Amino acid sequence: MTIRFDGRVAIVTGAGGGLGRQHALALAARGAKVVVNDLGGTLDGTGGTPKAAQAVVDEIRAAGGEAIASGASVTDFAAVQAMVDETVKAWGRVDILVNNAGILRDKSFTKMALDDFRLVVEVHLMGAVNCTKAVWDVMRAQNYGRIVMTTSSSGLYGNFGQSNYGAAKMALVGLMQTLSIEGAKNDIRVNCLAPTAATRMTENLMPEAVLNLLKPEAVTPGLLALVAEDAPTRAILCAGAGSFERAHVTLTQGVFVGLPDDAAEQVAAQFDALSDRGDETVPASGNAQGTLETGKAMRALG
């Protein structure tokens, strides 16, 4: 069945170019009314102009869709709240939020200024928090919401020179894990998208032949699946070059050591055993770790 968004209202942040632009265009092409949000700043987050967002709005309207532009900075909660209020005033609801806005300030950790660390966390993590907070009660009231956090392989698996970016991106996974639980009763489904795409952020990092495979539009089908009416929730979807994978935060069965005097030495000695992934699980919540641990202890001591 074709995925459609007729009657749905979507907000896409960082939608003036790259992935965000493709997401906005695709949502609009499938019937959504779209708020194209973009501060219009440079790659490192400086400056700002509404031209980028308006250009995408013009594209959507020229194709027969409905869209409005927003130049709100995702780091400014008052501006984000005003954007959401204006959206509800114009179209009555907010069904989809795509947290895509981001910046880069790459350097090895030893050379990185703390201000550059804080700003990247502020934009990626707190920007997503601000936007999600502004739409959360709207979605709860209408008993419907689809939210996507844009995470990254740099957060999931690490990448040299991106301690700030990676920390912020992995934090979004933690945010998603809890919000998907809290939003379940109001049909608010929250997922993460980890894209590999040729954008302003990657154009200087990869050879041209690879960049040609990594078109942003090859990621967007994954985004559409994550915000569809029958979307999953609590998924980490990886996407790039037309391929799609699923990442998981897992828990091994581990070993019981107890509290002998040499407990530390036993942990060290059994590290391979406790790392065995044969029967690992994907916990339904954070309680699973404690349940597993106390269960092993009770069996061992009982």
Is residue 182 located within the same domain as residue 281? no
pLDDT over 70 percentage in the chain: 94
Q: Tell me: the pLDDT tens digits for 18-61?
A: 999 999 999 999 999 999 999 986 665 565 567 999 999 999 99
- Is residue 254 in some structural domain? no
- Is residue 169 in some structural domain? yes
Catalytic residue among 124, 165, 179, 188: 165
Is residue 219 located within the same domain as residue 287? no
Q: Tell me: the pLDDT tens digits for 123-143?
A: 999 999 999 999 999 999 999
Is residue 292 located within the same domain as residue 222? no
- Is residue 243 in some structural domain? yes
Arithmetic mean of pLDDT, 235-261: 97
- Is residue 137 in some structural domain? yes
**Statement: residue 199 has pLDDT above 90:** no
> Would you call 301 helix, strand, or coil by DSSP?
helix
| C-alpha distances in Å from residue 37, one per residue of 24, 133, 223, 295 | 10, 16, 17, 48
Is residue 88 located within the same domain as residue 158? yes
| Average pLDDT along the chain | 95
Q: Identify the pLDDT of residue 207.
A: 76
- The whole-model pTM stands at 0.94
- Is residue 274 in some structural domain? yes
Residue 204's pLDDT band, with cuts at 50, 70 and 90, is low
Instruction: Residue 229: give the domain boundaries.
Output: 9-247
**Statement: residue 201 has pLDDT above 60:** no
Tell me how far apart the alpha carbons of residues 258 and 297 are, in angstroms, rounded to a whole number.
7
Q: Tell me: the pLDDT tens digits for 98-119?
A: 999 999 999 999 999 999 999 9
- Residue 13 near residue 100 (C-beta atoms within 8 A): yes
pLDDT over 90 percentage in the chain: 90
The CATH number of whichever domain residue 30 belongs to comes to 3.40.50.720
Is residue 290 located within the same domain as residue 183? no
- Is residue 255 in some structural domain? no
Residue 198's pLDDT band, with cuts at 50, 70 and 90, is confident
Arithmetic mean of pLDDT, 250-270: 98
- Bridge partners of 189? 146
Is residue 24 located within the same domain as residue 132? yes
Residue position matching structure tokens 């945010």: 175
Q: Is 296 exposed, middle or buried (0-12, 13-18, 19+ CB in 10 A)?
A: middle
Tell me how far apart the alpha carbons of residues 52 and 56 are, in angstroms, rounded to a whole number.
7
**Statement: residue 202 has pLDDT above 70:** no
Is residue 53 located within the same domain as residue 148? yes
- 165 is known as an active-site residue: yes
Number of domains, the chain: 2
**Residue 118 neighbours by CB distance under 10 Å:** 13
